[in-house]
Amino acid sequence: MSGRRKRARAGPAVAVELAIDDPELAERIRTMILEHPDLRLIDEVEEPAPDVRITDGATAGAADNAVVIITDRSGAREALQAGAVAVLSHRTDGEGLHAAIRAAAAGLTTLAGEYRDLLVEDRDAAAGLKGEMEEEPAHIDLTPRELQVLQLLAQGASNKTIARRLEITPHTAKFHVASIVGKLAATGRTDAVAKAMRLGLVMI
């Protein structure tokens, strides 16, 4: 019988485990997570296993898309070369962290905006980054409102939540989502967010 823990069942809250050595950073991240009711902190020995693990180790579990790595620039390069799919900087705010956790739980790529140039500087790192399989359009013409909707989509917001946050009707929110999916030639909401992240349209 395998000794591996079972992964948490799908539910309204994403189970998050902290594996951060820096006490100050750990406390800051903990505070950010507790501000979001759709995220749930669990202990490292708690059953079942977390949906997402957050670490400040540059290469710890880098190839696992359920791991979010928070590191500095040199650590980011190392993490990308190790195949990381979720790399954030220490300056990431609460909304950015929330979006990254939701993205990691969905198996999506996340990279801090300030580290995107590393993909240009190091082609090997770019090749190792998951989600770079297909070519994307060079330019996507999204309206300012669509960009707002896209950012909320990246945070895992439903059409009703988008409507409430932007003070529009659910029907209008649904229309904007459909327009975004069409312009990105995506198969759905999740694919649209993944493509938007690769194009740098969603900043984490």
pLDDT of the residue at 127:
46
pLDDT of the residue at 33:
92
Residue with the larger pLDDT of the pair 102 and 85: 102
Q: Among the CATH numbers 1.10.10.10, 3.40.50.970, 2.60.40.420, 1.10.630.10, which is that of 144-199? A: 1.10.10.10
pLDDT of the residue at 134:
44
Give the architecture (CATH level 2) of 14-128. 3-Layer(aba) Sandwich (3.40)
Beta bridge partners of 88: 70
In single-letter form, the type of residue at position 195 comes to: K
pLDDT of the residue at 204:
56
0.75 surpassed by pTM: no
Per DSSP, the residues of 115-175 read GTHHHHH-HHHHHHSTT-SS---S-----HHHHHHHHHHHTT--HHHHHHHHT--HHHHHH
Return the domain boundaries, the chain.
Answer: 14-128, 144-199
Q: In a 3-state reduction of DSSP, which class is residue 198? A: helix
Q: Token digits for 122?
A: 């190091």
Q: Which of 15-24, 147-156, 168-177, 192-201 has the lowest mean pLDDT?
A: 192-201
